[in-house]
Structure 1
Amino acid sequence: MIDFELIMPDGWVHIPTTPESARLRARTIDALVKARLPDSLPRDKAAPFRKMLRAQLTEATDDAARNGARAVVLPLTEYRDGWRVPGSLLITVLEEPDEDAPDPKALIGALLQEAGPDGARLELGGGPAARITEVIGGDPVGRKAPSLKVSYYVAHPEVAGVWALLTYTVLTDGDLESDVLTAVCLLFDTVVGTLRWADRIDVPTEDELISILESSV
């Protein structure tokens, strides 16, 4: 299996969201909730926060699964006054190796032409890539402030037809020029910039991964 690796800051978590990893996803969420809000805390005070954290993790991973993502990366570290990085990163690998696949530089060129000033050409993981930004309007019956969506299309440097798609979405307070939004985007861009391709030869089974997870809790 062709995959890639990212270096993440402390407090960020990687949760699988493929259909075959449903049990592992549930166990991972359980472990995260327990690690951040252990049973030693007073039940009456911790229970609402456990419920809220579980709901947030479940919603984020369900959304990633619906979008066909392989995994979701979430920053869970809380800073001053309980502030948490307001974003998430979806990870997808489009794995259809084909020697006759279109030239990746040509595909990236087409993406950038359509994106106009919102697109940028770059190199990631040794291959050509594109970074495209998009402002997503708020939900008229829910959140009214817009979100900023940034998508990376990264071609494998050696295997034609294999791409990485990384998309992060950052919630805003309506100010798309704020220093906070700029800093959050820089943080996600830095994580994406660590991308390195890897070939998974001996991939652990879901049961093996669950066993590793439970032994580390």
Structure 2
Amino acid sequence: MSTPDLEQQPPSKAVAPGGYELVLPPGWVRVPLRKGTKEALEKVLFSHMRQVPEGIPRDDAMRFRLEARRSLEKQARAAKRNGGLDLYLPVLPRGGIFLMASFIVAEMPIGQKHAVPPQAVIDQLANQDITGGTATKVEVAGAPALRRAYRSALDAEKPSSPGAVQQASLSTRRVEYVLPVADDPGRWISINFSTPGDGDVDSEFTGALVELFDAVVGTFRWSYE
């Protein structure tokens, strides 16, 4: 569970949340992107990652962790530039293999100049064409939200987990939730998930990872502490 801070904004009539909470699956960790990123990466690489993927000799474990750190730092910097608040990753291997998946919680630059009713924004986003994908109106934390799902090519320079293999032609399943910040007109966040699964985006295994992410989003709540 995490309660990262949102950026301070001018006070409104209602009390706006100071962050959010969600329940992570076993073996997943949060990397904050606004502050404490370096310390979190140190913990991920040298505390959580006690094991390395099968096939990597023990003598190469340190090199693996250093290469993973460079990849994670690059991914974290890119996410932060795009308004990222937190990066979430699986750090414990399953059956000797690290899951290739991640999701990012980020602030979105929509509706900030003019407060627009959330439902109007969601309706507009739902009507946008998504090539090879779908948009569905849902509820998150008891409020209207949008779920978008689609496929895309994986950037070979941005592995989606510490044990990800760089493959330029690998496709990914992506799911994005878009939701307004409660009692804070004009502010929105997105929760973006990406995974190539087992290499087959239509496999049962890949579908199970998407269902796991949907279940995590189902635990999302605003924090007022």
Question: Structure 2-normalised TM-score?
Answer: 0.74
**Contact 2:44-2:91 within 8 A present in 1 as well:** no
Change in Cα spacing, 1:157 to 1:34, as seen in structure 2 (3 Å) is: closer
Given candidates 96, 104, 123, the residue that maps to 2:139 is: 123
Alignment of 1:30-109 (within 5 A): 30-36=42-48, 44-80=59-95, 82-94=96-108, 101-109=115-123
Q: Which residue of 2 aligns with 1:191?
A: 216
Tell me the distance in 2 between the aligned counterparts of 1:53 and 1:140: 14
The size of the alignment, in residue pairs, is: 192
Q: Report which stretch shifted further, 119-128 or 166-175.
A: 166-175
Tell me the distance in 2 between the aligned counterparts of 1:140 and 1:127: 36
Tell me the distance in 1 between the aligned counterparts of 2:198 and 2:93: 18
Amino acid at match of 1:50: R
Amino acid at match of 1:182: G
- SS of the residue corresponding to residue 143 of structure 1 reads coil
Q: CA deviation at 1:29?
A: 1.1
Q: CA deviation at 1:49?
A: 2.9
Q: Report which stretch shifted further, 149-158 or 183-192.
A: 149-158
Amino acid at match of 2:21: E
Alignment of 1:126-205 (within 5 A): 126-138=142-154, 143-172=168-197, 175-200=200-225
- SS of the residue corresponding to residue 70 of structure 1 reads strand
Q: Which residue of 2 aligns with 1:114?
A: 128
Tell me the distance in 2 between the aligned counterparts of 1:9 and 1:60: 21
Q: CA deviation at 1:101?
A: 1.2
Change in Cα spacing, 1:37 to 1:150, as seen in structure 2 (3 Å) is: closer
Q: CA deviation at 1:171?
A: 1.8
Tell me the distance in 2 between the aligned counterparts of 1:98 and 1:143: 36
Tell me the distance in 2 between the aligned counterparts of 1:37 and 1:137: 27
Tell me the distance in 2 between the aligned counterparts of 1:174 and 1:118: 21
1:14 partnered with 2:5? no
Q: CA deviation at 1:195?
A: 0.8
Q: CA deviation at 1:97?
A: 9.2
- SS of the residue corresponding to residue 91 of structure 1 reads strand
Greater helix proportion: 1
**1:170-190 Cα deviation digits (max 9, x unpaired):** 124553321011000011111
Structure 1 unaligned runs (5+)? 201-217
Could you say what the CA RMSD is over the residues aligned between the two structures, in angstroms?
2.9
Q: CA deviation at 1:85?
A: 2.3
Q: CA deviation at 1:84?
A: 2.2
